[in-house]
């Protein structure tokens, strides 16, 4: 691993996380209020995900779905749009009204900057998967994905996300891990930031 991957990346993660939370906390308060008004249940959704070296941690997201959405997973299994072991539906029937906007803009992932500050995630890296899904990944992908901290964003998001096959997704993760450097990660951060702003404009305005 490079010096940046061993030491520099953590410093960038902490700086970027503090900056994001400091500037966007008023928006987070508004989003929290809308979630609470929109449907009963907690504001933050918590789920165990696979982290570095195969360990697990509790990942945070703004809640986008109805209460006990996980219990309805099998009911909507036939709508699954992803191949491989993952379960993803773009217009998931379990999404609340505000949850649909948050999910489609990626804004639901912002609480994960708290995971970054806790040292469980990185700003850029392979997206963490639910434990039961991650266990089904081919060993050749599993091993290298577990060698780094999972990330909030990855090039998978700007390359097509839901339009990509699971195999393409995994290959992009491996590429991001191997090519990780200050400028490589910064490029992904800037591209995802532009994408989020574009999606917010589309969904909200």
Confidence at residue 203, expressed as pLDDT on a 0 to 100 scale: 86
Confidence at residue 62, expressed as pLDDT on a 0 to 100 scale: 98
Q: Let me know the angle formed at the C-alpha of 62 by 65 and 80, rounded to the nearest 5 degrees.
A: 40
Query: Residue-wise pLDDT tens for the chain (205 aa)?
Result: 678 887 889 998 999 999 999 999 999 999 999 999 999 999 999 999 999 999 999 999 999 999 989 899 999 999 998 888 899 999 999 999 999 999 999 999 999 999 999 999 999 999 999 999 999 999 999 999 999 999 999 999 988 887 889 999 999 999 999 999 999 999 999 999 999 999 888 888 7
Confidence at residue 107, expressed as pLDDT on a 0 to 100 scale: 94
Q: Are strands 122-124 and 151-153 parallel, antiparallel or unpaired?
A: parallel
Number of other CB atoms surrounding residue 108 within 10 Å: 23
Domain ranges of the chain: 3-204
Confidence at residue 133, expressed as pLDDT on a 0 to 100 scale: 93
Confidence at residue 94, expressed as pLDDT on a 0 to 100 scale: 96
Q: Are strands 56-62 and 122-124 parallel, antiparallel or unpaired?
A: unpaired
Confidence at residue 120, expressed as pLDDT on a 0 to 100 scale: 96
> Do 198 and 118 contact (CB within 8 A), yes or no?
no
Q: What is the DSSP string of 157-180?
A: HHHTGGGS-HHHHHHHHHHHHHH-
Confidence at residue 155, expressed as pLDDT on a 0 to 100 scale: 92
């Amino acid at each position: 691993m490079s010096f940046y991957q061993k030491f520099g990346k953590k410093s960038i993660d902490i700086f970027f996380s503090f900056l994001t939370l400091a500037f966007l906390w008023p928006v987070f308060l508004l989003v929290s209020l809308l979630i609470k008004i929109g449907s009963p249940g907690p504001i933050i959704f918590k789920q165990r995900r696979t982290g570095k070296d195969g360990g697990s941690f509790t990942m945070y997201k703004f809640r986008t779905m109805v209460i006990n959405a996980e219990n309805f997973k099998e009911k909507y299994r036939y709508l699954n749009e992803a191949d491989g072991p993952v379960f993803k539906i773009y217009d998931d029937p379990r999404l609340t009204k505000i949850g649909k906007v948050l999910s489609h803009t990626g804004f639901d992932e912002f609480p994960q900057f708290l995971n970054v500050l806790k040292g469980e995630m990185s700003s850029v890296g392979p997206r963490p998967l639910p434990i039961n899904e991650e266990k089904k990944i081919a060993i050749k992908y599993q091993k290298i994905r577990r060698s780094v901290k999972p990330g909030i964003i990855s090039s998978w998001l700007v390359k097509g996300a839901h339009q990509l096959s699971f195999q393409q997704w995994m290959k992009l993760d491996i590429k991001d891990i191997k090519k990780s450097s200050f400028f490589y990660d910064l490029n992904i951060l800037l591209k995802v930031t532009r994408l989020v702003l574009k999606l917010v404009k589309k969904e909200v305005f």
